[in-house]
Amino acid sequence: MTENLENLEKKIGIKFKNKNLLKEALIHRSYLNEHPEAKLPHNERLEFLGDAVLELIVTEYLYRNYNHPEGELTSWRASLVNTESLSEIAKKLNLYEFLYLSRGERLTSTQKAKKVILADALEAIIGAIYLDQGMTIVKNFIKKFILIKLKKIIKYKKYKDPKSTFQELSQAKFKITPSYKILKETGPAHNKTFLVGLFLNENLISQGRGKSKQEAEIRAAKNALKKYKKLILNL
């Protein structure tokens, strides 16, 4: 695994003084269930630290560089540090191949669970960099891999959640407020999947699936936004 750690160091452009900090950042709780003899703990404490470091650095950067209202800055920050965003960055780093996971976790994790694992591991790495290298280096890492996404987030208004964005567009274009209806529920009570439809008046615009009604509604709104040009032509 030493060789893998060196490969990861090359990817992130940082050579650790204490390799165990980097290794700890990659250890998922499930791995210790199969390997109780492991000498290092799982990465949750480093994740806790990294989450705080990330929020502070992003908040300071936004404060110093953008003279915008607090609510807007908060939305931008949320778009930069949410699970979806962090997991995308972790995927680009091929972080999953470096993680210490149990065999069961690696084989059975859902896509949603993998995103959470990847986002948590990235935060743990941020915590490890902070402890090993200090504030200047961890700031550079966050600027290089996370803050670089900010201009695109602002330009394309990705900081707005899909439901709010679609509602603004539909009200501006059609003077209609979208509504959401559950079309179907499947699965047992403890593990349901919802199919939700997004409607403008009686017109079904799109559908979305999710493990909660909210998740299904967000996916329906995302799907509606994807075909918004077609929607303008047809309504």
Selecting among 47, 120, 123, 217, the annotated active-site residue is 123
120 in active site: no
CA-closest candidate to residue 100, choices 22, 10, 16: 22
Taking a C-beta distance cutoff of 8 angstroms, is the pair 119, 83 a contact?
yes
Distance CA 124, CA 225 (A): 34
Is 51 considered catalytic here? yes
Distance CA 219, CA 232 (A): 19
The catalytically annotated residue of 51, 105, 132, 217 is 51
Helix, strand, coil % in the chain, rounded to nearest 5: 65, 10, 20
- Judged by DSSP in three states, 112 sits in helix
**In the block, residue with structure tokens 């690696």:** 106
Please say whether the beta carbons of 176 and 170 come within 8 A.
yes
CA dist list (Å): 177 to 3, 166, 170, 200, 233? 56, 9, 7, 7, 18
Provide the annotated active-site residues: 51, 123
